[in-house]
Amino acid sequence: MANISITLPDNSSRELQEGATVYDLAASIGAGLAKAALAGKINGQLVDLSSRLTDGDSVEIVTEKSPEALDIIRHSTSHLMAQAVKELFPQAKVTIGPAIETGFYYDFDVEKPFTPEDLERIEAKMLVLASSDQKIERHEYSSADAISMFEAIGEPYKIELINDLGVERVSVYSQGTFADLCRGPHLPSTGRIKAFKLLSIAGAYWRGNEKNRMLQRIYGTAFIDKKELEAYLNRLEEAKRRDHRKIGKELDLFSFSDEVGAGFPIWHPKGAMLRMVLEDFERKEHLKRDYDIVVGPQILKSELWQRSGHYENYRDNMYFTEVDEQSYGIKPMNCLSHMMIYKSQLRSYRDLPLRFFELGTVHRHERAGVLHGLMRVRCFTQDDAHILCTPEQLDAEIKGVISFVNDVMTIFGFEYEMELSTRPEKSIGSDSDWEQATEALLSALKDSGRPYEINAGDGAFYGPKIDIKLRDCLDRRWQCATIQCDFTLPERFDLTYVASDGERKRPIMVHRVILGSIERFIGVLIEHFAGSFPLWISPVQAIVVTVTDNQIPYAQDVYRQLRNAGIRVERDVRNEKLSFKIREAQLQKIPYMLVIGDKEVEQGTVTPRYRDGKNLQAMKPEEFIEFVTQECKTFK
């Protein structure tokens, strides 16, 4: 029999008999590797261990340590789940079941939705199937054969998928009596699946289209071993503990009320204080960067929204009101009044760029099912600005915004990623406008030296945009900042400036937010810090705590001094045990507890206890004021 030559990742080569598989290659290298092998990579393409090699292939063995391992394990686990579901619910129709970032899911078409008890049964069945270590085999068929096969076993969704694929041949993976259309690759046998858990049941539309039938999706996750699975499940628990809705209630920051309406947060004193600190910070930072602060009204005539195109494209998300037979739209965006400010006088190229900043509160009628704590609400305040500039200035302005975002995210300690979104199907504006705007954003992204991704077709209807997603301490991503180019609104509103040659020219408008919305950003902050905010943004920075009633007059005096100095301080002079008061302040995550007993009264000091349990040296109240002031200056 002829020999073939295979190249390994270290560039060494190996001779094998013709017809050898990836597994044979692993076995020829060593028994240990053969045992650890999960899949292979031939010429960069992920394949099964059973794949045959041909002469000249370069091959890599995928083991648990390979970055691709997790996806393969999860994908095979989703098949295992489908197998279990088919055994328990033979009438269920299988659809698709991919690996995702945090695990996997599989969508089924069933008459009756799954119950939590079903989930337990399915998981138990999966354990049995895994321990029986069934071989997972790949077979190739012509599309026509595959279709008749799936017709015979009554799987219409698979037939639809094959028809849409429009290819000659398809692959089918089988394990036991279960067979599924799939590109693969998969683990060699079900016994290789060692650590998984089914997590939740949800409705999901076939092919993600809400006009299609709703399927039942089961989410699960799988890891290389039990230890990693446990670590992940612990992280889920930690995320639950940090949930901003829970902490928001515990720290008395905000609430929602049926009587007020869904999606309308009510800001309690401490939450409002947190907002105020952020808003003051933003005003200062914007003034530093030559923005002008402006203010527009909450409602504007409907005719204006018609002119802007919002009425046409965004009406379903808007609230309207009518007074004296005049219809008004409650603003879902702040751009219109900013444009009217621009239009209020004749502008020269010497005036540009103009940067109008507004902490603009907007209302958007989001669909009922999408609301989520502070992350998705119907009334929120954007740190919104519109930059009007010449085409020549666009590049520098966008770069300026990106550096602004970077400065702010560094202060809060967030990592972030950038994405460019291009023209969507439903849009206004000419092709050339879109090209020019997209080009400007792209060049700024390239110049930033940071990695970025491209989301084709995900732009706003009036222009392309850069979205900035920050990562919190649990590695979750949140859309906050966005920079949107707009060639359309200046056109619609006939915005002009007089250029150096005396000609009237059209400015470009850039819509941008840094934090995004104060509401969402606070939600992210709460979860990131688990409610233990840095001193500079803590709504309550310190609390004066007395040991007994004897110290009340002095404690009041200290409280007054701190208040007058602008420290956000509270006092707890209740007739309670010190340990009880410390406990309450601790649960409120107040950075400093200023303990006052007889000793402090005598010496005219306070003893600050940080919320991590450590005491600072006893110090004079004015020293504490100085200390807090300095810390806040450096955003600690």
Partner RNA sequence: GCCGUUGUGGCUCAGGGGUAGAGCAGCUCACUCGUAAUGAGCAGGUCGUCGGUUCGAUUCCGACCAACGGCUCCA
Is 575 a binding residue for RNA by CB under 7 A? The answer is: yes
* Residue 390 contacts RNA per CB under 7 A: no
Compute the least distance from the CB of residue 142 to RNA, in Å.
31
Contact 382, 360 (CB under 8 A): yes
CA distances in angstroms from 335 to 294, 322, 328, 498, 630, listed in the order given: 11, 21, 16, 22, 38
Contacts with RNA by CB under 7 A: the residue count is 71
Q: Which of 94, 513, 514, 525 is in the footprint of RNA by CB under 7 A?
A: 513
Among 24, 358, 572, 600, binds RNA (CB under 7 A): 600
Q: Which one, 20 or 573, has the nearer CB to RNA?
A: 573
Q: Which is nearer to RNA, 142 or 603 (CB)?
A: 603
Q: Under the criterion CB under 7 A, does residue 464 sit at the interface with RNA?
A: no
CB of 311 to RNA, least distance (A): 17
The answer to whether 617 contacts RNA (rule: CB under 7 A) is no
Contact between 467 and RNA by CB under 7 A: the answer reads: yes
Q: Known catalytic residues?
A: 335, 364, 382, 384, 386, 465, 511
Q: Which of residues 106-145 bind RNA (CB under 7 A)?
A: 113, 115
3-state secondary structure of 45: strand
Query: CA 567, CA 541: separation in Å to the nearest integer?
Result: 7
Q: Annotate 421-476 with DSSP letters as a single string.
A: E---SS--S-HHHHHHHHHHHHHHHHHHTS-EEEETT-SBTTB-EEEEEEE-TT--
Instruction: For residue 353, say if its preceding peptide bond is cis, omega within 30 degrees of 0.
Output: yes
Stretch that binds RNA, among 25-33, 276-284, 363-371, 392-400 (CB under 7 A): 363-371
Instruction: Tell me if 260 contacts RNA by CB under 7 A.
Output: no
Nearer to RNA, 165 or 371 (CB): 371
CB of 307 to RNA, least distance (A): 20
Pick the binder of RNA from 188, 220, 263, 464 (CB under 7 A).
Answer: 263
Nearest to 475 by CA among 236, 245, 197, 244: 236
586 lies in the site for RNA, by CB under 7 A = yes
Binding span for RNA by CB under 7 A among 65-73, 185-193, 377-385, 623-631: 377-385
Tell me if 378 contacts RNA by CB under 7 A. yes
Q: Of these, 516, 531, 539, 621, which contacts RNA (CB under 7 A)? A: 516
- Read off the tokens for 570: 């509270």
Q: Which is nearer to RNA, 121 or 505 (CB)?
A: 121
In what side-by-side order are the strands of the sheet with 452-455?
Answer: 292-293, 354-363, 379-389, 508-517, 477-486, 465-471, 415-421, 452-455
Confirm or reject binding of residue 621 to RNA (CB under 7 A). Answer: no
Answer yes or no whether residue 312 interacts with RNA by CB under 7 A: no
* Amino acid (one-letter) located at 421: S
Coil, strand, or helix at residue 291?
coil
Q: 345 to each of 9, 36, 348, how far by Cα in Å?
A: 68, 73, 10
Confirm or reject binding of residue 382 to RNA (CB under 7 A): yes
CA angle 177, 178, 180 (to 5 degrees): 150
Q: Binder to RNA among 95, 175, 190, 216 (CB under 7 A)?
A: 216
Check residue 335 for interaction with RNA (CB under 7 A): no
Q: Which of 599, 622, 626, 636 binds RNA (CB under 7 A)?
A: 599
Tell me if 550 contacts RNA by CB under 7 A: yes
Q: How far apart are CA 331 and CA 472, in angstroms?
A: 30
Identify whether the C-beta of residue 417 lies closer than 8 Å to the C-beta of residue 477. Answer: yes
Residue 577 touches RNA, criterion: CB under 7 A: yes
Measured distance CA(559)–CA(549) in Å, rounded: 15
- When the beta carbons of 179 and 409 are compared against RNA, the nearer one is 409
* Contact flag: residue 504 with RNA (CB under 7 A): no
CA distance 271 to 256: 13
